[in-house]
Amino acid sequence: MRKLILEKLKEKKESPWIFFGVTFTLTWVFWVPAALSGGRIDSFLVMALIFMGGLFGKLVPPIVLPYLTYGKKGWRDYWRRLVDVKRVSPGWWAVTVLLPVFYILFALLGSALAGLEIPMFDVTNPLNIFPLAIFIMLYGPLPEELGWVGYELDRLQARYSALNSSLILGFFWLLWHLPLFFIAGSYQSSEVVFGSLRFWLTFCPGIISLQILQTWIYNNTNRSTLTAVIIHFMVNFTGELLVLTTAHEYFRTAAAVLITVGVVAIWGPKNLTGSDQGPNFEEIVAAKKIKLE
């Protein structure tokens, strides 16, 4: 049945590349001028351009494209996958929440064994933790994963294996951040630095491994977009709570890469589910009224 469903989806000739074109256009039309302006990220013009790029590039595609693609019924399913906690078993909730915590613990252990300074908490006032969490969630994980995982991942997996879909999505996710590396004062330009060892050994593998793990969890939780949002949030949030040097980031990324390699080896690259059963596309078929006869 799943093979027939995938064939029917392919027959619809709906390009998976439209999402990337719309997202990059709506974001880069603001971010590229910000980079070319030569201004710092704390200047009003640059901050406004970054905000507008994030607003349109992150929100418009995940709100508009699902409706145009799937209609009202599919659009409701799309949002239900963001809020339906019952899709996810307690075990998968534990994996989603605790994996990024394990990365930090691995970094702490590695730092101790290597004789490095243990990273300290970067929040002096505990009352600031909640506003920080809200900002991180609303600016990054929530709007981004609605589009990248909640919408685009299904379209890629209808054509490619789970691993290849993750690699494609991860590559474009990396590329999407490119203008930020040329804006003075941004995290990407001041701490990661384009082309540096930290860029190649932490930023790139970190994004790719996160995307693969998101697909793994997504495919095993009945296409729960919420899990992708939560694990992305936990990675960002735990990283903000501690003062992590480049060496600490190496250990954290090593943990993510090792787990990702294990996941692919054990669950298999085809569906990342340990079987021939991939994501449940029947919901898409029902929404689009595709005849399977």
Secondary structure letter of residue 121 according to DSSP = B
The pLDDT tens digits of the residues spanning 84-105 come to 999 999 999 999 999 999 999 9
pLDDT given for residue 223 in this prediction: 94
Q: Share the mean pLDDT of the chain.
A: 88
- Res 75 pLDDT > 70: yes
The tokens describing 153, both together, are: 């991942």
Compute the average pLDDT of residues 4-10. 50
The pLDDT tens digits of the residues spanning 123-175 come to 666 677 888 899 999 989 999 999 999 999 999 999 999 999 999 999 999 99
pLDDT given for residue 280 in this prediction: 62
Percent of the chain with pLDDT over 90: 69
Q: State the Cα–Cα distance between residues 193 and 203, nearest whole angstrom.
A: 10
Does residue 122 fall inside a structural domain? yes
Q: State the Cα–Cα distance between residues 49 and 199, nearest whole angstrom.
A: 24
| DSSP assignments along 251-275, one per residue | HHHHHHHHHHHHHHHHH-TTTSSSS
Does residue 293 fall inside a structural domain? no
Does residue 52 fall inside a structural domain? yes
Rounded to 5 degrees, what angle do the CA atoms 55, 58, 63 make?
Answer: 100
Total structural domains within the chain:
1
Compute the average pLDDT of residues 187-195. 93
**3-class SS at 277?**
coil
The pLDDT tens digits of the residues spanning 266-291 come to 999 999 998 876 666 555 555 554 44
Q: State the Cα–Cα distance between residues 159 and 246, nearest whole angstrom.
A: 37
Does residue 252 fall inside a structural domain? yes
**3-class SS at 20?**
helix
Does residue 132 fall inside a structural domain? yes
- Cβ atoms within 10 Å, residue 151: 21
Between 293 and 235, residue with greater pLDDT: 235
Does residue 9 fall inside a structural domain? yes
List the domain range (segments joined by +) for residue 270.
2-288
Beta bridge partners of 184: 40
Rounded to 5 degrees, what angle do the CA atoms 240, 243, 244 make?
Answer: 95
pLDDT given for residue 293 in this prediction: 41
pLDDT given for residue 265 in this prediction: 97
Q: CB of 31 within 8 A of CB of 179?
A: yes
Does residue 176 fall inside a structural domain? yes
- Res 1 pLDDT > 60: no
The pLDDT tens digits of the residues spanning 195-204 come to 999 999 999 9
pLDDT given for residue 214 in this prediction: 98
